[in-house]
Amino acid sequence: MMDPEYAAALDKAVAFKSIRPPSTVTEARVIFDKFFVSAQNTFLEPHLPPDNTYVLTDQLIPVDGGEISARCLVPVVDDDSETFPVLLYIHGGGFSLGGIEMDDYTLRIRCVQHKISIVNVAYRLAPEHPFPTPVNDCYAALKWTASNVSLLRGDLSKGFLIGGESAGANLSAVLAHMARDDPFFEGRRLTGQYLCEPNICHYAAYPESLKPMFRSVEGFPAMPTLSRQAIERYYRWYNAPPSDPRFSPLLYPSHQGLPRTYIQAMELDPLRDDAFVYTEVLREAGVETKMDLNRGVTHAFYSCFPALAAAARVRENAERGFEWLLRREQST
């Protein structure tokens, strides 16, 4: 059952309801920027912390074939010697939409609220840069972050987190596996991951033993903020082999040794069961995992309709999740 306030907002949103499936990625980006990015940032702008409570710098990170940008946020505190935990954040948008501005305001608020340094990475997008370019770009950003802790006034012993929403959660889950297995990160391992609405396995590659648990893709094929048709379009643009663990991280042979994990799911989301299944798989592998289910709402609704009480709950859950990942939950 849909949240009543959300249902009423959808009913009144004539422009949103009139959206037709885009025919090109350019058209999809225009729609996404208007109804997701701009709507969220317009709502959050009055809640931004004062400019003197954080330092913002844009950095260039070398990647195979060029450079990508990253927006770095560092808290400002009275003690100039204080250091902070670090978060690498990866935006969503089906691997083909969004950018560095998408969660910029959310991350400025998070930086100050949690006293955490943040690297917001602008990876190259499909279909111009299909799989595995977004994976490789984000992994280069993760290595850059670990190598530039002093620039971020970071202390990875206080926390080294990775996270994102939707496609960003998929990429975060993949990178958590890659970093676990990479000697480069010895002595500076990830300590937590935030996965909001993660896509953890292509529906064509569900393991036989887990197929009965994946019902939401078929159960919610035409939700207003993410449909089965849209998922297939994003998959087509990304062009990743369904069974490659770098796209379907559920298929990694082991999930042991992954960092503490916080997951958010939306009840009416085609990707809901990805969150359910991954939570159980991680727990069975001995990974400390916590999940929140937001009832009566759809994928990424909180960006389109940020003023709703349900959207506020998603934001509140996220911030409590970060406190939990940083092991500060008893102080909140």
**Residues with catalytic function:** 166, 269, 299
For residues 135 and 174, the answer to whether their CB atoms sit within 8 Å is yes
For 236-292, the DSSP string reads HHH---TT-TTT-GGGSS--TT--EEEEEEETT-TTHHHHHHHHHHHHHTT--EEEE
Cα–Cα distance measured from residue 99 to residue 86, given in angstroms and rounded to the nearest whole number: 20
Distances (CA, A) of 68 to 99, 134, 167, 187: 11, 11, 18, 26
What is the residue-wise DSSP string for 132-166?
Answer: THHHHHHHHHHHHHHH-TTTTTB-GGG-EEEEEET
Residues sharing a CB contact under 8 Å with residue 43, sequence separation 6 or more, in sequence order: 306, 307
What are the residues whose beta carbons fall under 8 Å from the beta carbon of 128, sequence distance 6 or more?
Answer: none
Identify whether the C-beta of residue 79 lies closer than 8 Å to the C-beta of residue 152.
no
Kindly give, in sequence order, each residue whose CB lies less than 8 Å from that of residue 142, ignoring residues fewer than 6 positions away.
88, 162, 175, 179
